[in-house]
Amino acid sequence: MKEKLTERSLTSFVDLMAAKEPVPGGGGAAAAVGALGAALCMMVGNYTTGKKKYAAYEADVQRIMREADALQKQLIEQVNADAEAFEPLSRAYAIPKEHPDREKVLEEATVQACAAPMEMVRCTAKVIDLLDEMQEKGSVMLISDVGCGALLCRAALESAAMNVFINTGSMKNRSKAEAMENEVDALLEKYIRKAAEIADNTVRRIRKN
């Protein structure tokens, strides 16, 4: 059975990304970075839960951790899903232009290639919401980790969006393409700002200004 990208060591994964290989690429990187943002949210929760000082937030912190764990797993899986979607897209582009089925096969493969980055965008937006809540309820000793998580998620969000747009731009079904683009644009507008606010608030709290 072919080894999944997520079963590789970090060094091997990064080396493969640097190599002259089609996957992992920007999509896989976006998913991995989003997963790191979720992991940082969980880290803060793990250092907060059980502490008397934060007892009033115990139930909320436990919930945030569960949700962040689920999103981290979903994002990690998108590393593999994004890579798996590349092969049929590559095969579709290799079909001779005069072949009667080329356009249909290429369209289907392009839509399929949008699925993973679309899921990355949705999941990463949800992680930003959790980080926003964690900055208020998590241990102040780890506030910088919340800020780092927000910045990672912002990068993941924008990177995943690019991987949607590179595919929707060539789709023939413009109504479907525009529906995906509109969803992504709405999430970008809301969550880029939200991630920046979390990071800025973190800096203010750290530097006390």
The per-residue pLDDT string of the chain (209 residues; one tens digit each, 9 = 90 and over) reads 467 888 899 899 899 899 998 888 999 999 999 999 999 999 999 999 999 999 999 999 999 999 999 999 999 999 999 999 988 888 888 898 889 889 999 999 999 999 999 999 999 999 999 999 999 999 999 999 999 999 999 999 999 999 999 999 999 999 999 999 999 999 999 999 999 999 999 999 999 85
Domain extent at residue 85: 23-207
pTM: 0.93
Handedness of CA 150, 38, 182, 158 (dihedral sign): positive
Per-residue pLDDT at 2: 67
Indicate whether 3 belongs to any domain. no
CATH code at 160? 1.20.120.680
**Separation between Cα atoms, residue 73 and residue 28, nearest integer Å:** 14
Token pair, residue 64, equals 């945030």
Per-residue pLDDT at 23: 85
Indicate whether 10 belongs to any domain. no
Number of separate domains in the chain: 1
Q: What are phi and psi of 60, to 5 degrees?
A: -65, -45
Token pair, residue 62, equals 């436990």
* Nearest-10 crossing angle of helices 143-168, 26-48: 160
